[in-house]
Structure 1
């Protein structure tokens, strides 16, 4: 299936990444001029002062550090920024010592330091990605390899039973954790431009469920990080521009209730096998409409599930979700829905691969999210295992669909 979006999101991020790689490697290579000056002084008349062995060693070290930063970034190693920053700082020290000959190198050093700072904010321990990784690496499913059998569906309304059978949950494992890869575009309102994104989401479905959602968006060519956390029956949502500038930091009862709706939507759409075990109160409206009330953590949220003639879930609607303001400080209750389409097989289950999220505003419906489901895995043990060489891997799935 073709991507939902043109490659503008990836193109923008790829361009920035390649520009930094080129700067780091190219700038590092230029430092070899100092080494050449030490070996053959007449070959580099641009450097008027002689370069002795200690200075040549410093020039070569700066070159190696800058080049290492570029190579590590090319290899997508999250530690690239440390080498690049060290190389730029050492380089600038050499510039200060030989200012009259090398002052022009201040500009690339400043740019490289800025990029390294953004890299540290993005991939360093205080970044949202690092927090997401720490959360996820503790996720492990219970040691339960039971498969869903037909009688497990007997307590569910007939439209839900038909849906779960059509999805293919009978014969598959009971679902306790979920790891999804997503992509799409999002906007604040109809007057704002779309921001393309990729995302990764990890959920647990237990008595105390959790949801960790990391979104990597692009706004006017600048990266935006957004992290949703729902754990301990409390939610928090943070966004940062270029991984550094805070955009919003939302939390509180309104957000928690809204994220509870989102978590139930995940269960219905991305992990429908969880409906077999969930504490849901069902009310059949007709053969294509069911009202569900899900209770968890002191919250009881209600949604209406809409099915088509074939039994596919084609919409999910709730009045219990709230629209956050741009700064995440205020919330407005609005009807919310997620129309679904483009069903296909993913890891043995029939799932929708395209969806929208809509607010019903006084001015009409606002589609603020278009999303494509790329992949979903279930019951993955995310606990990190550190090998003898220091490499980090994940345990194998307890149960694979």
Structure 2
């Protein structure tokens, strides 16, 4: 839900150069590519035959983390390989601009860590992904004119962070393992660290009185040189396929001490198996 670079130029004159008759085939081509790439992503997902959650796994974890897993998972819950979801909501292309309505699809794998997200507003189509250990962002005006294309180490880190903080949608992903470590902070928060393929990212998870993950906080690049606090919030948990999942999520950057939200997504559809694109 969390795009990395917000300063997308609004090239109004470019829109006039794109024949409206071309928009439908452009959308169809983008949809075909998304389905193809999501199919490939899911083909990489590792199987977890017979692996299930048991409360004994929680021994030694920080107290709020133990309470969270007892609350959102049921004994014997099979480990999840990935998910697909659709969402609605609002998005800002710049922190100073107005909200735009957005619809999106997202495909996620647990092992290896990976996701592909595509969001569509009235003017923009956005593709954000972390695939094979590499992050990237592509933004097109009217689906045709490329206005942002980003990749490189900052994107690798930022998109892996996005994958990590969206793991409340995939709660078995947060259970302790060789890749996942929890460190105690206090009775309402714990530090979460994820490592894979030589990359490591971390965030502070905050828990509410219902023992749900309510916030995540970390540092993320807002441009090519500057890291700022990046905060995500999670609300409206509902039981989905036997687990409690947040369905209302918001992402914000903190600039000059002010929290500035830019993405507010509401989950409309979520499936875990079979792993296949919409």
TM-score after normalising by structure 1: 0.60
Conservation of the 8 A alpha-carbon contact between 1:179 and 1:380: no
2:27 matches 1:122: yes
Measured in 1, the distance between the counterparts of 2:102 and 2:130 equals 21
2:67 matches 1:165: no
The aligned residue for residue 272 of structure 1 is: 171
2:246 matches 1:352: yes
How far apart are 1:228 and its partner, in Å? Answer: 1.2
The structure in which a higher percent of residues are strand is 2
Measured in 2, the distance between the counterparts of 1:331 and 1:264 equals 22
Q: 1:310 pairs with 201, 204, 210, which one?
A: 210
How far apart are 1:351 and its partner, in Å? Answer: 1.8
2:81 matches 1:176: yes
Question: Which moves more between the two structures, 141-150 or 305-314?
Answer: 141-150
2:188 matches 1:288: yes
Measured in 2, the distance between the counterparts of 1:143 and 1:314 equals 28
The structure in which a higher percent of residues are helix is 1
- Distance verdict in 2 for CA 1:192–1:312, change over 3 Å: same
- Distance verdict in 2 for CA 1:258–1:309, change over 3 Å: same
Q: Which runs of 5+ in 1 are unaligned?
A: 1-110, 325-329, 384-393, 395-401
Measured in 1, the distance between the counterparts of 2:106 and 2:85 equals 5
Partner of 2:49: helix, strand, or coil? coil
How far apart are 1:361 and its partner, in Å? Answer: 0.4
* Higher relative contact order, structure no. (Cα contacts within 8 Å, ≥ 6 residues apart): 2
How far apart are 1:201 and its partner, in Å? Answer: 0.7
Query: How well do the aligned residues superpose, as a CA RMSD in angstroms?
Result: 2.2
Partner of 2:77: helix, strand, or coil? coil
How far apart are 1:254 and its partner, in Å? Answer: 0.3
The aligned residue for residue 131 of structure 1 is: 33
- Radius of gyration: which is bigger? 1
Measured in 2, the distance between the counterparts of 1:297 and 1:359 equals 27
The aligned residue for residue 269 of structure 2 is: 375
How far apart are 1:354 and its partner, in Å? Answer: 1.1
How far apart are 1:146 and its partner, in Å? Answer: 3.3
Conservation of the 8 A alpha-carbon contact between 1:260 and 1:301: yes
TM-score after normalising by structure 2: 0.85
The aligned residue for residue 211 of structure 1 is: 115
How far apart are 1:294 and its partner, in Å? Answer: 1.1
Measured in 2, the distance between the counterparts of 1:186 and 1:317 equals 20
Paired residues, number:
258
Measured in 2, the distance between the counterparts of 1:364 and 1:188 equals 18
Q: Which runs of 5+ in 2 are unaligned?
A: 1-15
